[in-house]
Amino acid sequence: MTDNRILIFDTTLRDGEQSPGASMNLVEKLEVAHALKELGVDIIEAGFPIASPGDFEAVQAIARQVQGPIICGLARCNEQDISRAWEAVRDAARPRIHVFLATSAIHREFKLQMTPEEIVQRAVEGVKRAKDCCDDVEFSPEDAARTELDFLAEVVERVIEAGATTVNIPDTVGYAVPSHYAAVIRYLKQHVRNIDRVVMSVHCHDDLGLAVANSLAAVMEGARQVECTINGIGERAGNCALEEVVMALRTRADFFGLTTAINTKLLYPTSRRVAHITGLQVQRNKAIVGQNAFAHEAGIHQHGILKHRETYEIMRPEDVGMNKTDLVLGKHSGKHALRERVQHLGYHLSDEQLQRVFENFKSLADRKKVIYDADIEALVEAEIHSGPRLWTLHAFTCNAGSGTLPSAAVVLWHREGKIVKDAALGDGPVDAVFKAIERITGIDVTLKDFRIRSVTVGEDAQGEAQVEADYRGKTLTARAVSTDIIEAAAMAFLQVINRIALKQEETAPRIHPTDAPPKAESVGSGR
- Binding residues vs Zn ion (CB under 5 A): 15
Residues 261 and 8: beta-carbon distance below 8 Å:
yes
Q: What is the smallest separation between the CB atom of 398 and Zn ion, expressed in angstroms? A: 45
Q: What is the smallest separation between the CB atom of 140 and Zn ion, expressed in angstroms? A: 8
Instruction: Single out the residue of 101, 153, 106 nearest to residue 122, CA to CA.
Output: 101
Q: What is the smallest separation between the CB atom of 215 and Zn ion, expressed in angstroms? A: 12
Q: Which amino acid is at 325?
A: T
Which option in ligand KIV, Zn ion, none does residue 100 bind, with CB closer than 5 to 8 A by kind? ligand KIV
* Contact code string over 126-155 relative to ligand KIV, x by CB under 6 A: --------------x-x-------------
Residues in contact with 354: Cβ distance below 8 Å, sequence separation at least 6, in sequence order: 335, 338, 339, 342
Among 131, 203, 385, 499, binds ligand KIV (CB under 6 A): 203
Q: How far, in Å, CA of 221 to CA of 503, rounded?
A: 53
- Listing DSSP states for 379-447 in one string gives HHHHHHT----SEEEEEEEEE--TTS--EEEEEEEETTS-EEEEEEE-SSHHHHHHHHHHHHHT---EE
Q: Side by side, which strands form the sheet with 474-482?
A: 446-454, 463-471, 474-482
Q: What is the smallest separation between the CB atom of 144 and ligand KIV, expressed in angstroms? A: 8
* Contact code string over 75-114 relative to ligand KIV, x by CB under 6 A: -------------------------x--------------
* Residue 55 binds ligand KIV (CB under 6 A): no
- Terminal Cα-to-Cα distance of the chain (whole angstroms): 46
**140/271 with CB nearer ligand KIV:** 140
Residues 91 and 63: beta-carbon distance below 8 Å:
yes
Q: What is the smallest separation between the CB atom of 141 and ligand KIV, expressed in angstroms? A: 9
Region near ligand KIV per CB under 6 A, out of 167-175, 185-193, 252-260, 288-296:
167-175
* Contact code string over 308-347 relative to ligand KIV, x by CB under 6 A: ----------------------------------------
* Torsional sign, CA 501, 506, 508, 513: positive
Q: What is the smallest separation between the CB atom of 107 and ligand KIV, expressed in angstroms? A: 10
Region near ligand KIV per CB under 6 A, out of 118-126, 164-172, 215-223, 467-475:
164-172
* Contact code string over 3-42 relative to ligand KIV, x by CB under 6 A: ------------x---------------------------
Which option in ligand KIV, Zn ion, none does residue 142 bind, with CB closer than 5 to 8 A by kind? ligand KIV
Residues 321 and 264: beta-carbon distance below 8 Å:
yes
**144/481 with CB nearer ligand KIV:** 144
Q: What is the smallest separation between the CB atom of 258 and ligand KIV, expressed in angstroms? A: 22
Region near ligand KIV per CB under 6 A, out of 166-174, 185-193, 319-327, 403-411:
166-174
Q: What is the smallest separation between the CB atom of 131 and ligand KIV, expressed in angstroms? A: 18
Q: What is the smallest separation between the CB atom of 137 and Zn ion, expressed in angstroms? A: 18
Among 170, 232, 426, 463, binds ligand KIV (CB under 6 A): 170
Q: How far, in Å, CA of 101 to CA of 122, rounded?
A: 8
Q: How far, in Å, CA of 340 to CA of 342, rounded?
A: 5
Q: How far, in Å, CA of 368 to CA of 378, rounded?
A: 14
Residue 489: Cβ within 10 Å count: 25
Residues 514 and 390: beta-carbon distance below 8 Å:
no
**30/77 with CB nearer ligand KIV:** 77
Q: Which amino acid is at 442?
A: G
**211/461 with CB nearer Zn ion:** 211
Q: What is the smallest separation between the CB atom of 146 and ligand KIV, expressed in angstroms? A: 11
Which option in Zn ion, ligand KIV, none does residue 140 bind, with CB closer than 5 to 8 A by kind? ligand KIV
Q: What is the smallest separation between the CB atom of 314 and ligand KIV, expressed in angstroms? A: 30
Report helix angle 53-65 to 26-39, nearest 10: 40
Report helix angle 267-278 to 242-251, nearest 10: 170
How many DSSP H helices and E strands does the chain contain? 17, 16
Task: State residue 140 phi and psi, 5-degree precision.
Answer: -120, 120
Which option in Zn ion, ligand KIV, none does residue 55 bind, with CB closer than 5 to 8 A by kind? none
Provide the binding-site residues for ligand KIV, judged by CB under 6 A: 15, 100, 140, 142, 168, 170, 172, 203, 205
